[in-house]
Amino acid sequence: MRKPIIAGNWKMFKTRDEAIAFIYKVSEAMPSIKEVDTVICAQAPMMRCLIKRQGENLRIGAQNLYYEDEGAFTGEVSGSLLNSYNVEYVIIGHSERRNYFNETDEMVNKKIKAALRNDLRPIVCVGEHLEERENNLTNQVLTTQIKGAFEGISAIEMEQIVIAYEPIWAIGTGKTATSEQANESCGYIRELVRELYGSIVADGIRIQYGGSVKPENIDELLAKEHIDGALIGGASLDPDKFIAMANAATKK
Ligand code: 13P
């Protein structure tokens, strides 16, 4: 009943021309938006030219936003600007933002609120470091991140949210979590949402897995009960791979 969502996170890759060539190739090959949501999250300056060419079934997202709507914040990008360009999704709290740019759960929470008041759909990333998994702290870390992220967010607002479970040790390492590990953690997140918001929200919220997803492993991951899609880094840069992964979700 939950519509799958396949999102590419291009991170800091591709020039304008490379991005346009990609969009021309994939936009016609995307599955119907009635069956699967597909999104490409690109660097902010190239979003406008991608939105113009996105076609019917592909959406463009941002990788970050600032939590104020305007002001003297040199170099930041506002939710109000993203909204004015018809950007639909925004990744919030990616582990690279948390690790390299010191984003805290409190900032993630403010950014989610900024996204929601600007009609953007947040893709909220959570996930543990390798040492945390090895010390059986995964659930504790997820609990802190989820409670921190959604502090003060209402059940109605939760309908706009997508959660991405991205174990940090699986990002860009080629080391995918097993489908069982990924499903277990996505299921744990769903139970946390159930505790906080009840069953209607928990059963409706979409939870993606991210971390070395590729055409070769996406079927097995999407076959799992609690995995409703994927947030894909490296493999989303290749148009043929992105088309294959988007279409794999039609079997969910
Ligand atoms: P990779 O797919 O390159 O491991 O990256 C995952 C990710 O960080 C998506 O946000």
Report the distance separating Cα 202 and Cα 193, nearest Å: 5
Q: Give 10-residue mean pLDDT values along the chain (252 residues).
A: 97 97 96 98 95 95 98 98 97 97 98 98 97 96 98 98 96 88 98 98 98 97 98 98 98 90
Nearest of 247, 184, 187, 239 to residue 219 by alpha carbon: 247
The Å distance, Cα 96 to ligand 1 centre, comes to 10
Report the distance separating Cα 46 and Cα 20, nearest Å: 9
- pLDDT for res 1: 85
The Å distance, Cα 95 to ligand 1 centre, comes to 10
Annotated catalytic, 166?
Answer: yes
Domain positions in the chain: 5-251
Report the distance separating Cα 110 and Cα 104, nearest Å: 10
Question: Model pTM?
Answer: 0.97
Q: Which residues contact 36 (CB under 8 A, 6 or more apart)?
A: 3, 4, 5, 6, 30, 246, 249, 250, 252
CB 22, CB 239: distance < 8 Å: yes
Annotated catalytic, 94?
Answer: yes
**Which CATH number is correct for 5-251, 1.10.540.10, 3.20.20.70, 2.120.10.10, 3.30.2010.10?**
3.20.20.70
